[in-house]
Structure 1
Amino acid sequence: MTNGKKALITGIMGFTGQYMAAELSAAGYQVFGFGSSPAQKSPNYIQVDLTNLAEVKQAVERVSPDVVIHLAAIAFVGHADPNAFYDVNLCGSRNLLQALCESAKTPEAVLVASSANVYGNNTPGRLAESTLARPANDYAVSKLAMEYMASLFYSKLPIIITRPFNYTGVGQAENFLIPKIVKHFRQRLPVIELGNIDVWRDFSDVRDVTSRYRALLHSSAFGQVVNVASGKMHSLREVISLCEELTGHKIDIEVNPQFVRPNEIKELCGDISLLDKLTCDNSAKIPLRDTLKWMLEAKS
């Protein structure tokens, strides 16, 4: 059953984009998507270079969306070209917001995905939105710059900025930590090389993240920056133990000094008080064990 409204997802072919499309489609939206890869067979997919303003304007007019979820970004911190972070994450985002401003129809809500990476690596504990940002790499700097840039459009567009913490699920690239661990267990490899496994992090399930994004679209949280996280911490040692329990396979951990960050924070967790308040959502989150089981048992 449709609600008669159109949703535009940038980065729809990415890991999060595909789950976001399923979430909004189930909520009754007609889903359209922008992506950088060649056009898919779907008439609702448009190949767009976000760094080309004219191209972005044309595509926005073609869709005329009611809600927008901006996920498109260079997201891998180790990406080879530092300039690409700024070209896409900052300038590309600005092009999108400008195009939405100049569109014949103003959207009801525009969710812009930033990152908890903006907090950096030197503030331990449970981080609230008021925590001082201390970005420690080009990816994080580009995302924080994007937040400031987006704030220039607050008076013109109903913008919500999210800062997601770590999240994972089936389909996430294997250069991310949890998929790397899951791959080793799926292949029943004897050894895995990791950095410091005695660190605690906040891991969400991608399906919970996209559910929260949908809820925020209807929250009227405009002009706000909102953490999206589980609010719970798990150690990497615990992740390994859960995988061992689920698969019956034991694995030897070798600490590779190249993977150990100097002065790495032991505990990092998202304060989701604002998120819970805005979405009025106290529902149970998907436990990490269930997420790992889903990933371990997924068909490749």
Structure 2
Amino acid sequence: MRAMLTGARGFTGRYLSDALQQAGIAVVKTCADVEGGGVGDVALDITDIEQCRRVIDEYRPNYIAHLAAISFVAHEDALAFYRVNVLGTLNLLQACADVGHEPAKILVASSANVYGNACEGVIEESQSPQPVNHYATSKVAMEYMVRTWFDRLPIILTRPFNYTGVGQAGQFLVPKIVSHFKRREASIELGNLDVTRDFSDVRTVASAYAALLRGAASGETVNICSGRPYSLRDIIAAMERAAGYEIEVRVNPAFVRQNEVRTLIGSAKKLDELVPDLERPAFEETLQWMYAA
């Protein structure tokens, strides 16, 4: 059995690769630029349809996990969101059709950002998307495009809520907070302290993806979440306990996003039905793991 990962050198890709290999599945790791990558990495620019055809035809993977995306919400090139997230995904699906290859399952990672500020409380997959930024809008467009392929390819769409862990880039919120405590900084500048998010451990997300790839479900959209809310204040308090000191928190208006999604908590009901034995470390354990790394 063989799985092909796009974005294999990304934060999630490294953990998913490990999870699949532990399940006895060989992994074809693709990335846009193989320079400085691992031995055996395969070059694949998903915005190039010819490259997509060549790589899929050569490896004919049993599974495809499509993780490659422009994922940093504050990314400056708006067109890149659509070029990579929408057209790149279309190229992968079209390439499968063009070379006559139907994998057992294709997992396409979307994002819980598609829900926007649509509602309070726990959000189920039936909630209508209301994106508030280019990243989320590109993911909504991608989802609608992908659904046109549901009758031709076995696809599962995932909407991961926030998740973190060792190895996440420092530009993201939780690694930024953890790094301040690791350096024993006296203060930290943050944006809106009342933002509330559903956080998971990256290892949980990787396990969920691996299970969904091997599972029977297709033509489905699934939240990847914990179902529990955490505010910035909660994260700061947990890190103060882990580090053994209190930090001064300053609100920097420059860090407060105009279209900030204030509350984003997912319903894990469908995920629990599809992956009933999914292990979820407590979020404070995840923070302690990151602090100790």
**Shorter chain as normaliser: what TM range?**
over 0.9
Distance in 2 (CA, whole Å) between partners of 1:119 and 1:41 is: 36
* Shift in alpha-carbon separation, 1:29–1:255, aligned structure 2, 3 A: same
1:58-137 matches, within 5 Å, as 58-137=54-133
Secondary structure in 1 matching 2:81: helix
Q: 1:144 aligns with which of 124, 140, 145?
A: 140
Question: Structure 2 length as normaliser, TM-score?
Answer: 0.96
Q: 1:245 aligns with which of 209, 217, 241?
A: 241
RMSD between aligned alpha carbons?
Answer: 1.4
1:31-42 matches, within 5 Å, as 31-39=27-35, 40-42=37-39
Q: 2:194 aligns with which of 194, 198, 202?
A: 198
Distance in 2 (CA, whole Å) between partners of 1:100 and 1:148 is: 18
1:288 corresponds in structure 2 to 283
Aligned residues: 292
1:185 corresponds in structure 2 to 181
* Shift in alpha-carbon separation, 1:90–1:262, aligned structure 2, 3 A: closer
The one-letter code sitting in structure 1 at the alignment partner of 2:117 is N
The one-letter code sitting in structure 2 at the alignment partner of 1:26 is Q
Distance in 2 (CA, whole Å) between partners of 1:59 and 1:265 is: 38
Secondary structure in 2 matching 1:234: strand
Runs of at least 5 residues in structure 1 that lack an aligned partner in the other structure: none
* Shift in alpha-carbon separation, 1:199–1:77, aligned structure 2, 3 A: closer
* Shift in alpha-carbon separation, 1:85–1:265, aligned structure 2, 3 A: closer
The one-letter code sitting in structure 1 at the alignment partner of 2:39 is S
Matched, 1:277 2:287: no
2:157 corresponds in structure 1 to 161
Any idea what the Cα deviations from partners look like across 1:112-148, whole Å, max 9, x if unmatched? Answer: 0000000012422110011110011111111111111
Deviation at 1:49, TM superposition (A): 1.2
Matched, 1:216 2:212: yes
Any idea what the Cα deviations from partners look like across 1:277-298, whole Å, max 9, x if unmatched? Answer: 12233x5411111101111111
* Shift in alpha-carbon separation, 1:256–1:41, aligned structure 2, 3 A: closer
* Runs (4+) off by over 3 Å: 261-267
Matched, 1:54 2:50: yes
Secondary structure in 2 matching 1:68: strand
Matched, 1:230 2:237: no
**Stretch deviating more after TM superposition (31-40 or 64-73):** 31-40
Deviation at 1:236, TM superposition (A): 1.2
Question: Structure 1 length as normaliser, TM-score?
Answer: 0.93
Deviation at 1:47, TM superposition (A): 1.0
Does the 8 A contact of 2:117 with 2:262 survive in 1?
no
